[in-house]
């Protein structure tokens, strides 16, 4: 609320709130009363109460003059030109936009319809007391922006390019505040204000570097003004960009690319505008003749070591060209070991612990130790799907075990044979001294011995 003491006065001529009304003439007794009141010393206005009024152009303003302690004194309302609008409940001013809302000994309330900027200013409330009192209320007229427009430097922008956008708010009162948004993110612009008479035009400039993710995103110009709420306009960005390329391996879905197996690749490319050409090439070498290229697909039916290298997929559109590489390394084919053909005999052993059971594992399948235990089919399927590396490891372990058993058996056999021959050595039995057994003395023994001079029979040896 604004209040101050002003020189009182009135006019015998009527006028509009902005000087647009027809002239009017007050009765002679009223003129004499007003002239006498003008000569009376002015008070401090402590008994009068009013409030400032803010109204949007074209709407209704209500002006109120109230008396705190009424003594039946006369109340009147004057316009900014100090022309009397209402004297008590009488309207000397010939402006039909002013209408009496309420009149009593303690209040004079008047409405003003279809408010315009020319109606803005100070309106005076006067109370004819001894001494007279006067205060004023300020009427402020707000004018919302007439128009809100976004101008964009280029309707179609290229990825990485900086573009300029301008948002203009015209003919507002007071000046507007412009804010920028890209999607839900607020951006900072640069504003300039121009004043034309009592109106303001504001232009805000935004510099924006666009990317492919900005395509189709709205840029919003939002106006902050006391006369309006949520006044905004927007433009959708259109951004063109070169293709984005990816290489997908269709087969094999998982695992290694091995010699003798097929390989199938697919090239996906997306851009704006859509890529017009997609092609395959081999980096630093020629494409093998057995490679089949069909559009965005590449197929090698039978891989071999000569296929090793980098394969590139290229896609292009009006903006530019992009590529993606696939590095191929062909591994050796999986090795398969035939089962051993030798037969082995095993010695049964007696197991004293009745709770112990024998477990066997063949290619990743494991028998459970107790039939009552729960069978986990997921684990079995995982064992069946074991990779070839683990299978080869199992095969090598089996072969090593068989060789160790054979070597051990041969060593045992050699030890047994050695001990047998050591215990059974050869002995000689001859008949040279056979006659000495019955001889009485040595001379007789020599004479009677077989093979002596008298016995020339050939000696015989027997081997047992």
Q: Is the per-residue pLDDT at 379 higher than 80?
A: no
Mean of the pLDDT values across residues 415-421? 87
Confidence at residue 441, expressed as pLDDT on a 0 to 100 scale: 63
Q: Is the per-residue pLDDT at 6 higher than 70?
A: no
10 Å Cβ neighbour count for 99? 15
Confidence at residue 393, expressed as pLDDT on a 0 to 100 scale: 54
Q: Is the per-residue pLDDT at 463 higher than 70?
A: no
pLDDT tens, 147-180? 999 999 999 999 999 999 999 999 999 999 999 9
- The overall average pLDDT reported for the chain is 78
pLDDT tens, 88-100? 999 999 999 999 9
Mean of the pLDDT values across residues 274-289? 93
Q: Is the per-residue pLDDT at 429 higher than 80?
A: no
Instruction: With cut-offs at 50, 70 and 90, classify the pLDDT of residue 253.
Output: confident
More confident residue, 407 or 395: 407
Cross-strand pairs, 270: 244
Confidence at residue 208, expressed as pLDDT on a 0 to 100 scale: 96
Q: How far apart are CA 139 and CA 121, in angstroms?
A: 5
pLDDT tens, 310-334? 999 999 999 999 999 999 999 998 8
Q: Is the per-residue pLDDT at 135 higher than 70?
A: yes
pLDDT tens, 35-73? 444 433 333 445 899 999 999 999 999 999 999 888 888
Confidence at residue 369, expressed as pLDDT on a 0 to 100 scale: 38
Q: If you average pLDDT over each of 137-146, 250-259, 420-429, which comes out highest? A: 137-146
Confidence at residue 398, expressed as pLDDT on a 0 to 100 scale: 86
Confidence at residue 20, expressed as pLDDT on a 0 to 100 scale: 38
Mean of the pLDDT values across residues 453-463? 49
Q: Both tokens of residue 425?
A: 């050595």
Instruction: With cut-offs at 50, 70 and 90, classify the pLDDT of residue 406.
Output: very high
Instruction: With cut-offs at 50, 70 and 90, classify the pLDDT of residue 422.
Output: confident
More confident residue, 461 or 314: 314
Instruction: With cut-offs at 50, 70 and 90, classify the pLDDT of residue 440.
Output: low
Q: Which of 31-35, 98-102, 221-225, 230-234 has the lowest mean pLDDT?
A: 31-35
Q: Which of 200-209, 254-263, 334-343, 420-429 has the lowest mean pLDDT?
A: 334-343
More confident residue, 392 or 408: 408
10 Å Cβ neighbour count for 136? 22
Q: Is the per-residue pLDDT at 370 higher than 90?
A: no
Q: How far apart are CA 70 and CA 76, in angstroms?
A: 14
Please report, rounded to a whole number, the percentage of residues in the chain having pLDDT higher than 90. Answer: 58
Mean of the pLDDT values across residues 242-271? 93
Instruction: With cut-offs at 50, 70 and 90, classify the pLDDT of residue 405.
Output: very high
Q: Is the per-residue pLDDT at 280 higher than 80?
A: yes
Q: To 5 degrees, how large is the angle CA 96–CA 102–CA 108?
A: 90
């Amino acid at each position: 609320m604004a209040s101050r003491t002003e020189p009182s006065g009135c006019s015998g001529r009527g006028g509009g709130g902005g000087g647009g009304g027809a002239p009017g003439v007050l009765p002679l007794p009223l003129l004499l009363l007003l002239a006498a009141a003008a000569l009376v010393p002015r008070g401090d206005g402590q008994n009068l109460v009013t409030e400032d009024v803010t109204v949007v152009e074209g709407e209704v303003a209500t002006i109120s003059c109230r008396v705190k302690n009424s003594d039946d004194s006369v109340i009147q309302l004057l316009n900014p030109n100090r022309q009397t609008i209402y004297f008590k409940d009488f309207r000397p001013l010939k402006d039909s936009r002013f209408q009496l809302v309420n009149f009593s000994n303690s209040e004079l309330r008047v409405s003003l319809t279809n408010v315009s900027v020319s109606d803005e200013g100070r309106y005076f409330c006067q109370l004819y007391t001894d001494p007279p009192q006067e205060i004023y209320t300020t009427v402020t007229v707000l004018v919302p922006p007439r128009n809100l427009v976004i101008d964009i430097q280029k309707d179609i922008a290229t990825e990485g390019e900086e573009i300029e956008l301008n948002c203009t708010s015209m003919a507002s009162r007071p000046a507007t505040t412009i804010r920028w948004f890209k999607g839900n993110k607020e951006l900072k612009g640069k504003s300039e204000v121009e004043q034309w008479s009592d109106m303001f035009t504001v232009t805000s400039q935004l510099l924006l570097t666009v990317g492919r993710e900005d395509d189709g995103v709205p840029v919003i110009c939002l106006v902050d003004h006391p006369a309006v709420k949520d006044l905004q306009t927007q433009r959708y960005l259109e951004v063109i960009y070169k293709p984005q390329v990816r290489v997908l391996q269709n087969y094999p879905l998982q695992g290694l690319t091995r010699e003798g197996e097929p390989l199938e690749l697919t090239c996906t490319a997306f851009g704006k505008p859509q890529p017009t050409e997609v092609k395959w090439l081999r980096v630093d070498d020629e494409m093998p003749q057995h490679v089949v290229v069909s559009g965005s697909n590449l197929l090698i039916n039978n891989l071999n070591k000569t296929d090793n290298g980098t394969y590139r997929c290229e896609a292009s559109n009006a903006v530019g060209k992009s590529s993606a590489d696939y590095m191929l390394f062909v591994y050796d084919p999986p090795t398969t070991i035939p089962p051993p053909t030798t037969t082995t005999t095993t010695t049964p052993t007696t197991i004293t612990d009745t709770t112990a059971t024998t477990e066997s594992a063949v290619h990743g399948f494991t028998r459970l130790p107790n039939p009552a235990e729960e069978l986990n089919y997921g684990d079995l399927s995982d064992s069946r799907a074991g990779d070839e590396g683990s299978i080869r490891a199992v095969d090598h372990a089996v072969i090593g075990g068989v060789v160790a058993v054979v070597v051990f058996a041969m060593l045992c056999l050699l030890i047994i044979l050695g001990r047998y021959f050591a215990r059974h050595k050869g002995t000689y039995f001859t008949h040279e001294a056979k006659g000495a057994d019955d001889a009485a003395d040595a001379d007789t023994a020599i004479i009677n011995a077989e093979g002596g001079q008298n016995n020339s029979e050939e000696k015989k040896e027997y081997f047992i």
